[in-house]
Chains A and B, each alone.
Chain A
Amino acid sequence: MTSAETRYSFDLAEEMAQQLEQEFGPEALRGELQKAFGGGGASPKGAQADSFFTDFGRRWMQRTIELGEQYTDRTYETLKDAAKKVETLSFPFISQRFIEIAYLSTQPVYSLPIVENSGRGLTFRMPFCGHFKAIREGMGEEFADQLHCKNACLAACQTAFEHFGFSVAVAMDAAVPKDEYCQFSIRRA
């Protein structure tokens, strides 16, 4: 361990990750689906499902931002300090931090696969989605494969950027089950 590591923490706070997992992880989503739609039997209408997931995604990111600010770390402090001096660094890196926190806390991955992060925007992938698995188990394959859940990710990304004053367009470039992962791209609107 380096001397800096004894003074600072560069990693995410475990307590925060656990809190987010508890509130927005696959089990929490399964519970919310059950509560909203009963599960199993008749599938909710498309618009109803889309609206449910949009709301879930927005709340997920809002809570991530709240906890992420509360549980800061040295990486974030350095980023904020750098962004004060070099304004262009805010985009997309500050929002990227919260997107990483949201997914690392709730998904079975050790790191979020980033495809691009530059002044042009942010693109990332989500393989092995725990939320998708929970939807399949709770609501059936047919409903899950309609991918209403994409609205949660789209809304979460939108919220992560809008919160910091960036107007963005979020697109889904690839999706399970056809592809092996979902991929989202965020560009300045």
Chain B
Amino acid sequence: MGREALDDMCRMCEWLGDGDIWYKNPRNYANRMYKLREPGKKATPFTGGAEGLASGLNRAIQAKADGDLETYQQIIKEINERDATRPGGQVLPLQDCIDLVRDIGTPVAAMHCICRKTTRAEEEQSINEYSCLGLGTGMFKWERWPERYRGGVQFLTPEQAAEFLEYWDQRGMVHMVMQEGGDFIGGLCNCDYPDCVPIRQRVDYGLNYRLTKGENICEVDYERCNGCGECLGRCQFNALKYEATIDKPNIDPMMCFGCALCMTACNRQAIRLVPRRQYAALQYVW
């Protein structure tokens, strides 16, 4: 595929998609089970948690709190420049998530959300509370990082994983695939603002590469919409509002992340997903 054809792809699809959507490429879930270590080397320790997730942002926040906006903007710019060369996460709709766990994103294990722990000191203790899915053979080694996988993990069948995703979708959680260490997709998160660290980093601080918008945007079919308003509370990205002049909702395509939570809330199938690249004004808006 030529450079021109790739221009309207997100950067992850350009790097990792082999001409298609990167998170639909089985190669991006592939991972070894073992690694021989060079003498004296040990397994990488867990470096996540509050510090790992914030990575550099703390300094920016402090600068802003001190009223030093110039330093704040400079740090944000530096983080964005650094992130531009690394993969990150991407928003995706429920159906794509279900397709992944039914086909290429195996094994799948339910686990606690590191974001909620980081931002609210809230620990999800059991399968009934877990909201994240870990993917790939790394899950067979979860006990190696007990501080990351507190409470353990529960391996799921593809059907259980689909039900898990549907449950959190109904509860209004945004679905995101997350790259692990730049090598493979290791997580399928279900999270919301303000708990979700990547959503906050993107929405509150403009760290745009931490979370890329989805492949699609949502559009209202005004013939079908009856203005019931069921969708209004679902948007985490300020893209959806009530349009008083027509008594129906309106979706700002520039703001829409394509999570499709508004769509799955609509009983009249009056919201549909449309490929971002279908619109010239949106094809570079990631």
Contacts and interface: CB of A to CB of B under 8 A. Distances in A.
A86 interface: yes
Contacts of A113: 32
Interface stretch (B70-78, B114-122, B141-149, B186-194): B141-149
Interface string B28-43: 0111111111100011
Nearest to B138: A75
Contacts of B143: 4, 8, 10, 74, 78
Contacts of B29: 116-118
A12 B34 contact: yes
B140 interface: yes
B36 A114 contact: no
Interface residues of A, number: 40
A166 B106 CA distance: 18
Contacts, number: 114
A89 B104 CA distance: 12
A17 interface: yes
A88 B146 CA distance: 25
B41 to A, nearest CB: 10
Contacts of B142: 78
B181 interface: no
Contact of B147 (A2, A17, A120): A2
Nearest to A109: B36
25 contacts: A2-B45, A2-B144, A4-B145, A5-B144, A10-B143, A11-B35, A17-B36, A75-B34, A76-B140, A79-B33, A79-B140, A82-B139, A82-B140, A86-B156, A88-B157, A89-B106, A93-B140, A96-B33, A97-B34, A100-B33, A101-B34, A110-B37, A114-B32, A116-B29, A120-B104
Query: Can you list the 3 inter-chain pairs with the closest CB atoms, starting with the nearest?
Result: A82-B155, A118-B104, A116-B26
Contact of B155 (A1, A89, A97): A89
Interface of A: 1-5, 8, 10-12, 17, 74-76, 78-79, 82, 85-89, 93, 96-97, 100-101, 104, 109-120, 123
Contacts of A17: 36
Interface of B: 26-27, 29-38, 42-43, 45-46, 103-107, 109, 137, 139-147, 155-158
B36 A111 contact: yes
A157 B156 CA distance: 27
Nearest to B37: A11
A100 B27 CA distance: 17
Given A2-B144, A88-B157, A117 B35 contact: no
Contacts of B144: 2, 4-5, 8, 10, 74
Contacts of B34: 11-12, 75, 97, 100-101, 104, 111-112
Most interface-central of A10, A97, A101, A113 (chain B CB within 10 A): A10
Given A82-B107, A93-B107, A117-B31, 10 more contacts: A1-B42, A4-B146, A10-B141, A10-B143, A11-B37, A78-B140, A88-B106, A116-B27, A116-B104, A119-B103
A93 B43 CA distance: 21
A96 B33 CA distance: 8
Contacts of A96: 33, 137
Contact of B137 (A86, A87, A117): A117
